[in-house]
């Protein structure tokens, strides 16, 4: 029988208190959970001076996902904000907005249902997975359609010491085939597999900005752990996947029109609740290219 954890985890208290002591002068910052998520106020993302941007950048590093309300910005302003963090990604499998190859559009309705309701990091099948994504709400259901985020720093730090020792030097293989591959013909699949071969990433990566250790496997794209029998790999991965399920590691965002969420894809997993069909939900996502995990 697996070991169950009951009661508080000391890391959560220490991290909550550390975050509570942070000071910001240019922006309002309202924490959303113990270790992850903050709503940012007092800013217009369409018109940011350098000092305000620097504080947003700092809040992003500390809280791992930040949220903005009432941002009636243009598509170009959405792109410009994301570009301040790095080069933008073009997604090879998801539909883009007409005329904007760097914007993925998620348009859900009675015919197109939400299928992103599983914990995951984005595009870990890339050799350089994304730094993060800025998701903007254009049309949202009256009830439902929230997005949940889970802190993979807390997920790692709250593992037992012997589990950390077991996984610290392991490498996992990530592959798009098990998700996006199902929609491709055999010829298209072979072509894309040549373009995007399986990627090897550490099971526990070090965040390039904060230096913190992050659990870095996910149920959509992680195939197996190298050098381990498949049954043992599957068992260990399933245990690690479940770390995202712990409510104490999570925050939940309720969307409104013109809300934005900007999450650190290196340090969090996310889950889009699919509880709103046949209502309409239209979102636009801009993604920033990241580094090679180490």
The model's pLDDT over 196-223, given as tens digits with 9 standing for 90+, comes to: 999 999 999 999 999 999 999 999 999 9
Low-confidence ranges of the chain (pLDDT < 70): 1-3
In the chain, what are the domains?
10-289 (3.60.130.10)
Active site (annotated) includes residue 120: yes
What are the residue ranges of helices labelled H in 171-229?
Answer: 186-195
Residue 23 has what DSSP assignment?
Answer: -
CA dist 276 and 137 (Å) reads 15
Does residue 278 have a cis bond before it (omega within 30 degrees)?
yes
> Which run of H or of E encompasses 138?
strand 130-139
Q: Considering 122, 151, 175, 264, which one is annotated as catalytic?
A: 122
pLDDT of residue 220: 96
- Residues in CB range of 45: below 8 A, 6 or more apart: 68, 71, 73, 77, 78, 81, 260
Instruction: Write the pLDDT tens digit of every residue in 218-243.
Output: 999 999 999 999 999 999 999 999 99
SS3 per-residue string spanning 75-134: HHHHHHHHHCCCCECCCCCCCEECCEEEEEEEEECCCCCCCCCCCECCCCCCCCCEEEEE
pLDDT of residue 163: 97
Supply the mean pLDDT for the chain. 96
User: Which is it for strands 38-41 and 65-68: parallel, antiparallel or unpaired?
Assistant: parallel
The angle at the Cα of 86, spanning 97 to 73, to the nearest 5 degrees, equals 45
Cβ contact 128:289 at 8 Å: yes
Q: Scanning the structure block, which residue is given the tokens 């859900």? A: 108
Q: How many CB atoms lie within 10 A of CB 280?
A: 16
Tokens for 293, please give them: 């995990």
Q: Considering 78, 121, 205, 285, which one is annotated as catalytic?
A: 285
pLDDT of residue 123: 98
Task: Estimate to the nearest angstrom the gap between the alpha carbon of 202 and the chain centroid.
Answer: 17
Active site (annotated) includes residue 285: yes
Q: Considering 174, 266, 270, 281, which one is annotated as catalytic?
A: 270
Q: Considering 78, 120, 136, 281, which one is annotated as catalytic?
A: 120
């Amino acid at each position: 029988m697996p070991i169950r954890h009951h009661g508080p985890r000391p890391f959560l208290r220490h991290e909550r208190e550390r975050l509570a002591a942070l000071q910001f002068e240019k922006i309002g910052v309202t924490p959303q959970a113990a270790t992850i998520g903050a709503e940012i106020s007092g800013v217009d993302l369409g018109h940011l001076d350098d000092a305000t941007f620097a504080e947003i950048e700092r809040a992003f590093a500390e809280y791992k996902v930040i949220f903005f309300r009432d941002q009636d910005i243009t598509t170009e302003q959405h792109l410009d904000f994301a570009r301040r963090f790095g080069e933008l990604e073009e997604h090879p499998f998801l539909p883009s907005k007409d005329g904007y190859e760097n914007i993925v559009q998620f348009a859900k309705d009675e015919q197109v249902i939400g299928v992103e309701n599983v914990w995951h990091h984005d595009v870990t099948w890339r050799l350089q997975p994304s730094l993060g994504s800025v998701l903007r709400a254009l049309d949202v259901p009256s009830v439902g359609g929230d997005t949940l985020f889970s802190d993979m720093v807390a997920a790692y730090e709250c593992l037992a010491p012997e589990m950390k020792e077991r996984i610290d030097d392991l490498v996992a293989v990530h592959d798009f085939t098990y998700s996006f591959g199902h929609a491709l013909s055999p010829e298209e699949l072979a072509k894309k597999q040549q373009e995007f071969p399986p990627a090897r990433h550490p099971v526990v990566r070090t965040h390039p900005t904060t230096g913190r250790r992050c659990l870095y496997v996910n149920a959509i794209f992680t195939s197996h752990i190298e050098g381990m029998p498949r049954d043992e790999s599957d068992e260990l991965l399933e245990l690690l996947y479940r770390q995202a399920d712990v409510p104490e590691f999570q925050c939940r965002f309720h969307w409104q029109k013109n809300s934005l969420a900007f999450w650190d894809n290196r340090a969090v997993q996310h889950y889009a609740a699919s509880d709103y069909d046949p209502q309409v939900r239209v979102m636009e996502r801009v993604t920033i290219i990241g580094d090679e995990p180490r």
